């Protein structure tokens, strides 16, 4: 089964299950308030981290370096903000994991190691010798 289709089906099921379990423990109104609080706090923290990442990217550019980490980090923060806006506890957990710099670096290192393992070790060059030939008038056609 396609992983996107599976995620579309499983994420709401997990969220509904967590709503029922947590709502039965702490109450319906408290659960709703908690969902709004995590969304508000998460979006403001995402804004803060996004501005820090933007600042770090400009510093990298001023040093004539490629801000690759900052670009990927900015995309992760945007995804985290969307996850925090979506009501639910599971999406909030993943959103907060993507927002905090320490956990974000840990997640990036895991993906980086996975990508390095899957790279093809094929060489992209051809070895050979060359000889420099001068153009003489007698060799021209």
Q: What is the pLDDT of residues 99-119, one digit of tens each?
A: 988 998 898 888 887 777 666
Annotated domain spans of the chain = 3-105
Q: Is the pTM of this model over 0.85?
A: no
Q: Does residue 21 register a pLDDT over 90?
A: yes
Residue 119: predicted pLDDT: 62
39-49 residue pLDDT tens: 999 889 989 99
Percent of the chain as helix, strand, coil, to the nearest 5: 75, 0, 25
53-107 residue pLDDT tens: 999 999 999 999 888 888 999 999 999 999 999 899 999 999 999 998 899 889 8
How deeply is 99 buried, as exposed, middle or buried, from its count of CB atoms within 10 A (0-12, 13-18, 19+)? buried
């Amino acid at each position: 089964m396609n992983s996107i289709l599976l995620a579309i089906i499983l994420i709401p099921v997990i969220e509904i299950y967590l709503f029922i379990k947590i709502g039965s423990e702490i109450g319906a109104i408290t659960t709703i308030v908690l969902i709004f609080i995590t969304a508000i706090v998460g979006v403001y923290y995402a804004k803060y981290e996004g501005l820090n990442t933007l600042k770090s990217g400009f510093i990298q550019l001023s040093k004539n370096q490629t801000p690759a980490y900052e670009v990927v980090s900015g995309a992760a923060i945007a995804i985290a903000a969307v996850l925090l806006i979506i009501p639910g506890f599971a999406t909030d957990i993943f959103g907060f994991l993507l927002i905090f710099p320490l956990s974000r670096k840990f997640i990036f290192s895991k993906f980086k190691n996975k990508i390095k393992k899957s790279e093809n070790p094929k060489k992209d060059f051809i070895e050979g010798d060359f000889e420099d030939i001068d153009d003489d008038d007698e060799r021209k056609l």
